[in-house]
Structure 1
Amino acid sequence: MVAISLYLFAASVALVAVYLKYLYRWRRRDEPPMVPGGLIWGNCKEFGEHAVRFLHKSHKSCGDIFTIRLLHQYLTIVMDPHSYDRFTREKTFDFDPIQKQVNHNVFSFELINPRKMLKEAGKTVRGHYMNNIMQNFSKYLNETFADISTKDILGNLHDIPKGENWCASNLRVLTARTMFTSLFKTIFGNPRPEDTFQPMPVFENFEIYHKYFNYMWLGLPSSLFPAATKALKALVKQPCSSDFLSREDLSHYIRFSTEYMLNYNQAETEIMGHNLVYLHVNYNTFRVSFWTMYFLLEHREAWTALSTEIQTAVDEKKQYCSSDEPIAFNLDEVESLPILDSIVKETMRSTSGVFMVRAISEDTKFEMENGQKYFLRKGDKVAMYPPALHKDPEIFEEPEQFKYDRFVDAKFYKNGREVKNPVIAFGSLCPGKRLAIAQSKWFLMCLVNMFDLELLEGQRTCPDSAYHGHEILPPKNDVEVRFRHRNSFQTLSFE
């Protein structure tokens, strides 16, 4: 009995020692206040239940900057939108370790000299490359719109006469068959019939795998999640790099990154992992498109306003082309449509879950925009959480409401000062932000120009707050819609 008591005492002492060494720490002078949390999990429970509400609550009690703990990781949160530029410019706030953590923990690969690769590869989604991407994307999008008009999800032929019969679908499936498929082909080229790496199977497996992103990013092994493990095995069944490189319609980004990794003698499995990272980035563009479609259908006044704006733009173009040729738009013309721009921004504001996280490479005295200075420790992480800003009632009136025209000729203020970056959906370092937004806008333009869509009676959904940390939140449930061709339309093309 005495021996058992001694063992229990020793175990208790060991647990306390582990807690004090790895989980507990004293707040040092000039450090941000710490938000109280659980003994083992820290603030995981409250953050996981609803990150925005938790951070708003912590903001009220602790101020514009505070530290939380997620498992063993300490994370300092900057809640002041006016300090955004200082956050992004601080040299000791390093994104490389975060990127490495995601690549290793979630997609099982490492990049050699990642900063150089991403800097060079990032050029292939901007400038003249972007115009080429948009042209290919537009071509594939028109093909998918033709497919949903002539084939069911299994590929069986059917016909939808213009302006007559309605066709029913899940909104998620409809968006995947059109937007995701077009993105997939724009990235990897048109798959061969014998390839197992096809858009819809990849989409279904990516949906499964993505559910566990937050857990794996924090370091929990994918083996704890059998569904994720099974999905990943399917996702890595890709054509080899030489097969991809032989495709004329392969994207410049994948071509450059593949050749770069081959030059460093990186394995095929690592190239496949990087392909999945890039697909992950584009998967968020698919989610934006899902939500823009949903909000347009839920708020019919938004559909009417956008339809009128697009029809006006199309009618102006019709004067200069014949009725049997596509109506061409360029990027400047797409970006100049105020209702379209506002709807996409409002969608990202309403559904963004992105976490802008950096590793602190050196002990740092970080100065906020108001002049206050705080000591931040080397080895911790620091973050801004845009969704908490997007739902701030001091910045946005009725932030829980979707208002399609919120961003038309609008400015936003916090503490009497204009907020320079009111919507931060893809993070400050994403080289393809403009491309992703342009693709989302073009998808909406073509969709509204070509189809009538309606939500079926009683169909509603909302963003799932359990997935805060994802760039764009998934819906809690899918919804049923019906669609048909408009009585009269001309196909759009990108020039």
Structure 2
Amino acid sequence: MSSSSPESQQLLPLREIPGGYGLPFFGPIKDRRDFYYNEGPDKFFKTRVEKYKSTVFRTNMIPGPFMAQNPKVVAVLDAISFPILFDTSKVEKKNVLDGTYMPSTDFSGGYRVCAFLDTTEPSHAALKGFFSSQLAHLHNKFIPIFRSSVSELFTTLEDQLSKDGKSNLNKLGDKVSFDFIFRLFCDNKSPEETVVGSKGTSTFDRWLFLMLCPLMSLGLKFVPSFVEDFFLHTFPLPFLLVKSDYQKMYDAFWKHGSKILDEAEKFGLKRDEACHNLVFLAGFSTYGGMKVLFPALIKWVAAAGEDLHRRLAGEIRTAVKEEGGVTFAAINKMSLTNSVVYETMRIEPPVPYQYAKAREDIQINSHESSFLIKKGEMIFGYQPFATKDPKIFENAEEFVADRFLGEGEKLLKYVYWSNGRETENPTVNDKQCPGKDLVVLLAKLILVEFFLKYDTFTVEASTIMLGPLVIVKSVTKAS
């Protein structure tokens, strides 16, 4: 038996894990109804933390009966217990990307792609090593391709504001994200010039929805909750509904990503398997992540107000001027911009849920107690609670733009958005996102581009099934 992390080596009283699973079949359904409809995720966890007086407890996790292999989990909701999910020497990550539910492999060409592989499976190291090497190889293309992709966003945004008095940032951001990731992996080829055409974002959106709908709530007030619950959470929707469009996407990556696939074969990977993994990396991990992150970032920065806007604009414009353009050297000088990105990832992480299975009996610590998790039990982490742990972060529920400046950098080890600590780098022996640094860079770049063009802006934000919906209401051009 082992303990979970360096922070938890102190001796704490051993406590039986509180909570429970209720009656067979009915208990998971009750918890699912509470999670989606009666309480919502935040209240669901908050009420149980208060009830059990513990940030570690037993509960059922979505989607429940029929589609879950086993809905029973041990929830870890504080910054000290949460990192057990990263320790692949003690936890298994096989088929747990989406938790107690796993989508059909039809959505990935019949393959269990890298994200679903455990680190002990031989192909994991080959696939992750391949992706890491390609991202390193493409490093110098990140900034110019992204700036090219984002160039039309502001023209369209201003046209829509002039015509309609508002602009849907989500739609504009999705187009930028897809265009960037397609160009990056497909030799800077525009998707419009391929078989994908203008349907890239809609294809990936439908593909993501069909895969992940058992984990979603649409929030449609005109649809009774029991109707939505039945259709989304009782049986998986078929891949057939997106099969032809997915094939076009696959064919485009096969043809225009040939240079990357040539390298995959040098890693000993089958070309077909590598291509399906590339589509998954592009569509699920990268496009899907940016689809949530970009609107969240703009929402929080907008809400922070004109003082922060002035400070960001000053820092960004000064650094760009000093370095003669938008370069890595210029971005490395933007400490406030850097802090703002990490604060967004702390307060609204793009992937809120993380899972693992105990390889052995494990003793973990919270702040107050230790707990014994048995071999084979599923461990579930709700990241927004762990990264808003009030015993780690002062004013944890507030967006504090300069939280990670100066001495605040020491808190970066408690930022977990990438399935690992922000202070650590991905390896083939862990499940941390191989594109971790790329995602951070792109978040910085969207702020850079915004504040090179605008002094300030306002938005209206609401919540949709995959994060915030952000409507830009006004912009003030750079003076």
Query: What TM-score, normalized to structure 1?
Result: 0.69
CA shift, 1:443, in A, is 2.8
Given residue 177 of structure 1, which amino acid in structure 2 is its aligned partner? K
Given residue 111 of structure 2, which amino acid in structure 1 is its aligned partner? E
Instruction: Spell out, residue by residue over 1:28-63, the C-alpha distance to the aligned partner (whole angstroms, 9 max, x if none).
Output: x97522246553515222233522222222223321
* 1:421 aligned residue: 413
Of 25, 48, 58, which aligns to 2:36? 48
Aligned-partner Cα distance in 1 for 2:132–2:272: 26
Given residue 290 of structure 1, which amino acid in structure 2 is its aligned partner? P
* 2:347 aligned residue: 350
Change (3 A) 1:187 1:202: same
Query: Unaligned stretches of 5+ in structure 2?
Result: 1-13, 65-69, 217-230, 421-431
Of 34, 44, 68, which aligns to 2:19? 34
Of 333, 338, 343, which aligns to 2:335? 338
Aligned-partner Cα distance in 2 for 1:121–1:184: 19
> SS state of the match for residue 237, structure 1?
helix
> SS state of the match for residue 95, structure 2?
helix
**Is the 8 Å Cα contact of residues 35 and 58 (structure 1) preserved in structure 2?**
no
Change (3 A) 1:73 1:132: same
* 2:195 aligned residue: 196
> SS state of the match for residue 460, structure 1?
strand
CA shift, 1:259, in A, is 7.0
Aligned-partner Cα distance in 1 for 2:272–2:179: 28
Given residue 27 of structure 2, which amino acid in structure 1 is its aligned partner? L
1:440 aligns with 2:428: no
In the TM superposition, what are the counterparts of 1:85-234 in structure 2 within 5 Å? 85-89=83-87, 91-99=89-97, 102=102, 104=104, 107-108=107-108, 109-111=110-112, 114=117, 115=119, 116-123=122-129, 126=132, 130=135, 132-148=137-153, 169-189=167-187, 190-191=189-190, 193-198=192-197, 201-211=199-209, 213-216=211-214, 224-225=236-237, 230-231=241-242, 233-234=244-245
Aligned-partner Cα distance in 2 for 1:405–1:386: 21
> SS state of the match for residue 403, structure 1?
coil
**Is the 8 Å Cα contact of residues 462 and 470 (structure 2) preserved in structure 1?**
no
Aligned-partner Cα distance in 1 for 2:240–2:395: 41
CA shift, 1:481, in A, is 4.2
**Is the 8 Å Cα contact of residues 170 and 470 (structure 2) preserved in structure 1?**
yes
Aligned-partner Cα distance in 1 for 2:281–2:326: 32
Of 459, 467, 470, which aligns to 1:474? 467
Instruction: Spell out, residue by residue over 1:371-417, the C-alpha distance to the aligned partner (whole angstroms, 9 max, x if none).
Output: 955343444311222211233444444444333223223549xxxxx
* 2:255 aligned residue: 243
* 1:279 aligned residue: 283
Aligned residue pairs total 413
Change (3 A) 1:84 1:401: closer
RMSD, aligned CA: 4.1
**Is the 8 Å Cα contact of residues 126 and 435 (structure 1) preserved in structure 2?**
no
Aligned-partner Cα distance in 2 for 1:393–1:371: 14
* 1:4 aligned residue: none
CA shift, 1:179, in A, is 3.6
Query: Unaligned stretches of 5+ in structure 1?
Result: 1-28, 154-158, 319-326, 413-417, 468-472, 488-495
Aligned-partner Cα distance in 2 for 1:181–1:265: 23
Instruction: Spell out, residue by residue over 1:69-88, the C-alpha distance to the aligned partner (whole angstroms, 9 max, x if none).
Output: 13241111123322344443
Aligned-partner Cα distance in 1 for 2:147–2:322: 21
**Is the 8 Å Cα contact of residues 73 and 380 (structure 1) preserved in structure 2?**
no
Given residue 46 of structure 1, which amino acid in structure 2 is its aligned partner? D
